[in-house]
Amino acid sequence: MRRAVRMAGAALALALGISGAATETAGAATSYSFAVIGDIPYGSTQLGLFPKRIAQINADPNVKMVSHVGDIGSGNCSSSYYQKIKSNFDKFVDPLVYTPGDNEWADCHRASVGKGNPLERLATVRSVFFPAPGRTLGQNAMTVTAQAGYKENVSFAAGGLTLATLHIVGSDNDLKPWTGLGYTAPTEAQLAEEAARVDATISQLRNTFASAKAAGSRAVVLLTQADMFAPGTQGSGYRKAFQSIVRALASEAALFQRPVFLFNGDSHGYVQDKPLTTSKWKSFYGLSGSVSNLSRVTIEGASSVNEWVRVNVVSGPEVLQIQRVPFT
């Protein structure tokens, strides 16, 4: 059993060298682990199991932080459901870093979930899950740096790493038409929101890498929902949604030279790869060179999910060791 008394958020941050100001020194390598989950809980069965699964992660003595990379379920866009998930999030003992997914807001136009206005739902998601900008969720919340105007985009230094969340979602980053509301093409408001959020994402990327260089970080860790390298053939809408972000990521990662790790959900099946070393994705996004220091991990999710990912920070050159841990 995990010890009953846990360190307070400030003490935990000190122990790991965590700093909300990512421009401060990231610190020497520290051996610890963090958990990554996403696309959970899907459906009533998963929702019923969620407290038990949170307890399993809480019971791991090496885990000092948890990240949820979006999609808190499918088929429910109600404010009461958001509050129910928030209540479950509050059961995490360690700091919880959460970034929204498309199911939370971008897909809420669908008739099956009540034909909600996605932008109104996005405002509610921000209100419910980010009540205190610059503070994570979890019982031992820690201080992070929140991006101005996008409080869900946060960055911090921890144990020799610089970490950041990026609000990028599936459904072509909300460029797919809101068909449930009767639209056959993106609305002006939809396009404006997406364009501003992409600009904010690219700014967050560039600032994160600048902070990592200034801090002497061993690696950069990026956490987002959208799978920008999804299996199968992708069309022009998918390229338009993600190309500017991927190109900025490729440029910054190549200049950084040290390891870069991208964790995402969205496509539900586990993948661990180096997407920008393959001709498919280099050609798709119009990149001329390979980015071999970028590693990507897609988290398993959806109604059949039976595992979580433990990321071990190690002192060797690999920096991170990825473990797939079965839910019990």
Give the three-class secondary structure for 16.
Answer: helix
pLDDT computed for residue 3 by the predictor? 41
Q: What is the DSSP letter of 137?
A: B
pLDDT-wise least confident of 118-122, 291-295, 316-320: 316-320
pLDDT computed for residue 150 by the predictor? 98
Average pLDDT value for residue range 211-237: 96
* 178 alpha carbon, distance to own chain's centre: 24
Domain span holding position 35: 9-326
Residue 3 within any structural domain of the chain: no
Give φ, ψ of 114 to 5 degrees.
Answer: 105, 5
Contact 10, 152 (CB under 8 A): no
pTM of the model: 0.94
Q: What percent of the chain has pLDDT over 70?
A: 91
> What is the spatial distance between Cα 25 and Cα 14, in angstroms, rounded to a whole number?
12
pLDDT computed for residue 159 by the predictor? 87
pLDDT computed for residue 325 by the predictor? 98
pLDDT digits (tens, 9 = 90+) for 295-307: 999 999 999 999 9
How many helices and strands in the chain, by DSSP H and E? Answer: 8, 12
- Reading the block at residue 227, the tokens are 């799978």
Residue 34 within any structural domain of the chain: yes
Residue 137 within any structural domain of the chain: yes
Q: What is the DSSP letter of 180?
A: G
How high is the mean pLDDT of the chain?
A: 93
Give the three-class secondary structure for 35.
Answer: strand
pLDDT digits (tens, 9 = 90+) for 98-137: 999 999 999 999 999 999 999 999 999 999 999 999 999 9
Residue 1 within any structural domain of the chain: no
324: nearest Cα among 258, 261, 269? 269
Residue 241 within any structural domain of the chain: yes
Average pLDDT value for residue range 138-167: 97
Residue 4 within any structural domain of the chain: no
Q: Tell me the pLDDT band of 148, cut-offs 50, 70 and 90.
A: very high
pLDDT digits (tens, 9 = 90+) for 234-277: 999 999 999 999 999 999 999 999 999 999 999 999 999 999 99
CATH of the domain at 316: 3.60.21.10
Burial pattern 96-120, b for ≥16 Cβ within 10 A else e, equals bbbbbbbbbbbbbbbeebeebbbbe
Q: Tell me the pLDDT band of 193, cut-offs 50, 70 and 90.
A: very high
pLDDT digits (tens, 9 = 90+) for 22-66: 655 554 556 799 999 999 999 999 999 999 999 999 999 999 999
Give φ, ψ of 220 to 5 degrees.
Answer: -110, 135
Q: Which residue has the tokens 């979602």?
A: 169
Q: Give one DSSP letter per residue of 218-273, joined into a string.
A: SEEEEEES--TT-SS---HHHHHHHHHHHHHHHHHHHHH-S-EEEEE-SS-S-EEE
Residue 2 within any structural domain of the chain: no
Q: Is the pLDDT of residue 291 over 50?
A: yes
Q: How many domains does the chain have?
A: 1
pLDDT computed for residue 233 by the predictor? 81
72: nearest Cα among 307, 302, 309, 296? 302
Give the three-class secondary structure for 316.
Answer: coil
Q: Is the pLDDT of residue 11 over 90?
A: no
Q: Tell me the pLDDT band of 173, cut-offs 50, 70 and 90.
A: very high
Contact 233, 171 (CB under 8 A): no
Question: What is the chain's percent helix, strand, coil content, to nearest 5?
Answer: 35, 20, 40
pLDDT computed for residue 179 by the predictor? 97
